[in-house]
Every structure is written in C-alpha cells, then in structure tokens.
Structure 1
Amino acid sequence: MTKSDRHARTDWYERSGVRSGPHRTVTGPLDPASRFFPPHLVPYWGHPLVRALPDRRRHELLARHLYHYLTYTAHFETRVVNRATERIADGRTGLALPASVRLDAYRIYCDEGYHALFSLDVVEQIAEATGIPPLPYAFDPFLRQLDGIGSELLTGEPLLAQMLQVVVFETLITPVLEEVPGDRAVLPVVRDIVRDHARDEGHHHVYFSRFFERLWNDLPTPLQRRAARCLPELIVSSLAPDLRPVGAALTVAGLRPDAVRQVIADSYRTRRSEAALRSTAAHTVRLFQETGVLELPGATEAFAAAGLLTAVPDPPAPPVGEER
C-alpha cells in the first residue's frame, strides 16, 4: 500500500459526506423563481407541447424530474451498486483481495447508503415545502432489464455481471454531477447534495477503475470475450432513460396520451441524446480501452454498434509479406 493510499483511507473519516457532511435542508420559504433542476438537462423541456403548458405545470414538471432523478439514484445506489459492493467487502467475488481493498468497499457501501438517504430526504423536504407530491415510482422493471443483459450475454455468470454493473455505473460521469453544483439558479439544497454526491463519487471512480483492472486480469480469455460483448450493453442500459415516470409526469401536467407519446418520441433517442450518451460514457470506455477490452475480437464492433464509439478503426495492416 502506498503512502497516498493509506492517507486516502484514513482521510475517509474526515472527508466523506456520511462522516462529516452537514444535514442539507430546505431553509426558509422557497423562492418561486428557484429552479428544482437545470431545464437544459430535461430532454423534453423545450418541446412545443411542453412549452405551451401553464407556468405552474412546468414548475411542477421540474420538481418531479428532480424527484425522479433522486429516487432513481437512491434505488440504484442500494439495489445495484451496494449489491455488488457488499460482495467485494465480504470477500465473495472469487478474487484474492487484500483487506485494505475490502475495507474500502465497506466505506463505499456506507457512502452509497448515505447518498440514498439524503436523496429521499430532500424529495420529502421539497414535497412538503411546495405541496408538489412525488409520483409513485417502481424500480423493478429497470432492474429486471439491467439484470436481463447479464442473464443473456453472461449466462451462468450472475456474480460477474453484477461486478461489471457496478464498475460501469461508478465510472460514468454524468452531466448532473458535473453541472448542477455550479448552477446558481438551482435550489441551494439541490446543489449542495449533488456536490456532496459528486465529491464522494470522485473517490469511487478511482476505486472501481482499479478494481476492474484486478477483475479483468483474473478472467480467463473466453470469459473476457463474453464480458467484452456485454459491457457496451450494460453502459447503454445504465444510461437509458426510464420513460415510464416521464410519461406519468407529463400526464399529470395535463398532456393527453397522444401528446405524451409525441413528446417522448421527439425528445428521446435522438442524435443529440446519442451524442450525450457517448460523452457521459467517455471515461468508462477509455478505462476499457486502456485495460485492453477493445482489443478482443469483436469488442470494438460491439462498442460501436452500441453507439459508444464515433467510428470503428480499420484493422491493423499485416506485416509486409504476410497475406491477409
């Protein structure tokens, strides 16, 4: 263990949100002009049918988009990230992990549980302060879809699929974590909790990047090939918008079913959203490139087919005198 690693582990007790962060609360009456969420991060915000809604309904839409983001975060942290992190911490991955790596996993487990807590705490606080209730949300359909990718592409390897899920999710860098803390138009309590979250996630990114190198190098080549074809699908599934709560929020805002379908069709799975997906996944894809994942047969094509690469590079030319 290096000196910097030892410092990072002892430093957790002073710098992690769950150990040292204040309880973030809604203070005073809410400014009617305060934004619950940056509108440019809401794909449907500029749609003509949404722009035509009364201001009050649009205000409620931003609140419910925030509720959805925070509720989804709470579920993903506890039911996907911590599902795998607990296995790492408890030594049930099949890898020979030193105690220091397992202790770090327990620290991350605490972080993620706290992220879920403060996410739902802020939903409740804002709902009480505004009178805008959150809509019912079911995470199970999303989780079944995510787990289904592993069941299909990594048949018989559920543990590996869960390890890859957590690596993917913890190395993605989302626009929300990057942009919200600095957007002074957004409600302060929202900026604060997203800043707290982003600070912890920076450390998690480093941890899971290193963990993936251990995991990848331990896999036999046939399993590496299967995993390489599974990874792009896991990235896309982790970033795919859950459209059910979007439709519910638009419906409550006053749009008829045909208008809801139109807004969703026009706002999601567009060329712009594909570019945003590549941008969000760029650090994760780079990790896989540096680890050698894309060097395996068919891997580059699988990442390109998933829209994660702008172009598929030509195969290397054979040495002079060697036939193709």
Structure 2
Amino acid sequence: MFAGDAPMPRIEAFRNWYERAGVRAERRKMLAPEDDIHKAFFPEHLVPHLDHPLLDQEDLVLRRYLTAQHAYQWLRFTMHFEVAVVVRASQKIADGSSGLHLHETTRMDAYKIVVDEGYHSLYSLDVQHQLVNRSGIPALDYDFGPFISGLDAVGEEFPQHRKLVELLQVVVFETLVTSILSDIPPDESVVDIMRDTVREHAIDEGRHHAFFSAFFKHLWSQLDPPLRQRVAHYLPPLVLRSLRPATDPARDALLSTGLGETQVKDVIADSFSNERVLAGIRHSAAKTLRLFEEVGVLDQPGARDAFTEQGLILP
C-alpha cells in the first residue's frame, strides 16, 4: 500500500509528556461541595436548538435541562470516540501494524496518545456521572453506533483500504479545531468541573494535533499516485461525518420535555439546517483543509471539485 520508507520526523511536543500530560500531571476532576451546581453544564450558545422560538424562553428549568442533556451527550460521545476511533488507529501506529515505516520514538509517542485518550474517555464518563448525581438531572440514553457506522462506511467498497481509512479518520478528527475546546474554559457561566476538564483536554489535544498533522504529511508522502487520488476522495465525507452534529440526541431531549413530534421536527429542521451545519463544519475544519491544501490533496484530479460539491470549500 505504501510506496516509501523514509522515517517520520520526531514531534517535539511530546518531549515533556511525562511532566505535562493530563494523565501524569493532573488530579482527578471532582465536584467540590462548594461548587455552584446551578451553573450551566455547557455554554448555551453552543446548544443549537436552545433559542428556538417554539421553546418557552422564560422556562429556565427547561433551558437548564436541555443544556445538561447536550453536555451529557458531548461527554458520552467523547468517551466512545476516544477509544473507538482515536485509540483504534493510534494503537496501530504504536505497535507497528499501520504499514508505515516509523521510528521507535514516533511509535512511543503514539502509545502516549493511546494513554491520553483512554484517560480522556475515563474522565468524560466520570464527570458526567458526577454531574448527574449532584444535579439530579438524569442522562438520557446515548447511542454511539450510528456515528461509528457512518464513519466506517467511508471506503467500505474497498475493504483492502480499511486500515488506511482508520488512519485517515484519526488524522481528520485530531486536526480539527472545534469551538468547544476554546469556548468552554473561559466561560464563567459554566460549572467549574466542565471548564477544568475541557481546559486539560485542550492542552493534550494540542500535542495530538501536532502529531497527526506531521503524521498525515508522512502518510501522504508514502502513498503511490493512484492511492493518493483515492484518499483525496475519501477525505470530504470523513470530514463531514466527523463534524456533522447528531440530531437524534437533541430530538430525544426535546421529546422528553413533552414537546410534540411535529414541533420537535420543526425545531430540529430549523436549528440544524444544512446551511448552518456546513458553515460550522467549514469553520472547525479550516486547519484540516489547510493541511490538505499544503500537502497537495486538493491538486488531485477531481479533488477540489469533490470538496466544493460537499460544501467544504465555497465555490
């Protein structure tokens, strides 16, 4: 599958991992008795359906409930994604089964990512449990299955590329920059445990971003021309499926408040319109798209048109 054998350069960001990684340097995040549990669990402006006119904007209990469910869903998504996608691919890089020629230090850095992401998964679930127990707001069921199934469906017609697609999945997601990691830590309206958790997560993710940006450049350099063209067409749906918001959790939360099926359908349609969703995806994927531009992905035959047709690049 891979044409070259040049080693990937060392990522300097991991030299101080033993001193700086969250799993090494930070204590367990705990809700202290004096913490204000009545603060929001998530920034309200990041909950797309919260201000819809069909919802009673004067009902503070309703707003708090929907915001809590959005926070729970994000924490549960993080718990699943870190293990099911990031650890799955990082393990292959770490244990030498990725198919790429990698220096021992690079593989060790990938093992550090495996440790980081396992810890991120653990504390995401831990924080959710603490919030539920302290607030008394129960968490609705969350099904990660549709997301991972959709992500794994990209390239499924070429089963020989399964391992490659898994590597591309983690490259895409770990080079994205969502507003969540930057907006939550400074937001004093949000409960402290969420702010601290996201702040710590963002620091680790900065290292991962550096690693996977370099990893993709190395991966791309090892692909033969026909496979480069194939990869260029795998990437647009991977970006979209990584960032397109899941509407089922929002729908379930709205239905659980007693809102009717027709009203919920209208709220979802308005709050998650295709135009609004694509604008958010382009914003979050800006650095990833620049990385693709830099290495020449968009120069592959038909690639720029594919990214444009998917709404990732404006015509």
Q: TM-score range by the shorter chain?
A: over 0.9
Match among 214, 218, 230 for residue 214 of structure 1: 218
Distance in structure 1 (CA, Å) of the matches to 2:11 and 2:115: 19
- 1:90-239 paired onto structure 2 within 5 Å: 90-152=95-157, 154-239=158-243
Equivalent residue number for residue 265 of structure 2: 261
Q: Is the 8 A contact 2:11 2:211 kept in 1?
A: no
Q: Is the 8 A contact 1:45 1:51 kept in 2?
A: no
How far off its partner does 1:6 sit?
7.8
- 1:7-22 paired onto structure 2 within 5 Å: 8-22=13-27
Distance in structure 2 (CA, Å) of the matches to 1:108 and 1:32: 32
Q: Residue 166 of structure 2 aligns to a residue in which SS?
A: helix
Q: Residue 54 of structure 2 aligns to a residue in which SS?
A: helix
How far off its partner does 1:50 sit?
2.3
How far off its partner does 1:5 sit?
5.2
Letter in 2 for 1:121: D
Tell whether 2:91 aligns with 1:86. yes
Tell whether 2:103 aligns with 1:75. no
Identity of aligned pairs, percent? Answer: 46
Q: Normalising to structure 1: TM-score of the pair?
A: 0.91
Structure 1 residues 184-226: Cα deviation after superposition (integer angstroms, max 9, x where no partner): 1111110000000000000100000110011111111111101
> What count of residue pairs does the alignment treat as equivalent?
307
- Work out which structure has the larger RCO, using CA pairs closer than 8 Å and 6 or more positions apart in sequence: 2
Letter in 2 for 1:236: L
Q: Residue 49 of structure 1 aligns to a residue in which SS?
A: coil
Moved over 6 A (4+): none
For structure 2, list consecutive stretches of 5 or more residues without a partner in the other structure. 1-8
Distance in structure 2 (CA, Å) of the matches to 1:284 and 1:45: 29
The CA RMSD over aligned residues, in Å, is 1.6
For structure 1, list consecutive stretches of 5 or more residues without a partner in the other structure. 312-324
Match among 305, 309, 312 for residue 309 of structure 2: 305
Tell me: CA distance 1:6–1:49, structure 2 relative to 1, closer, same or farther (3 Å). closer
Distance in structure 2 (CA, Å) of the matches to 1:67 and 1:53: 23
Tell whether 2:298 aligns with 1:294. yes
How far off its partner does 1:162 sit?
0.2
How far off its partner does 1:159 sit?
0.4
Q: Normalising to structure 2: TM-score of the pair?
A: 0.94
How far off its partner does 1:111 sit?
0.4
Deviates most, 44-53 or 275-284: 44-53
Q: Is the 8 A contact 2:13 2:210 kept in 1?
A: no
Larger Rg, first or second structure (1 or 2) = 1
Distance in structure 2 (CA, Å) of the matches to 1:54 and 1:39: 14
Q: Is the 8 A contact 2:172 2:238 kept in 1?
A: yes
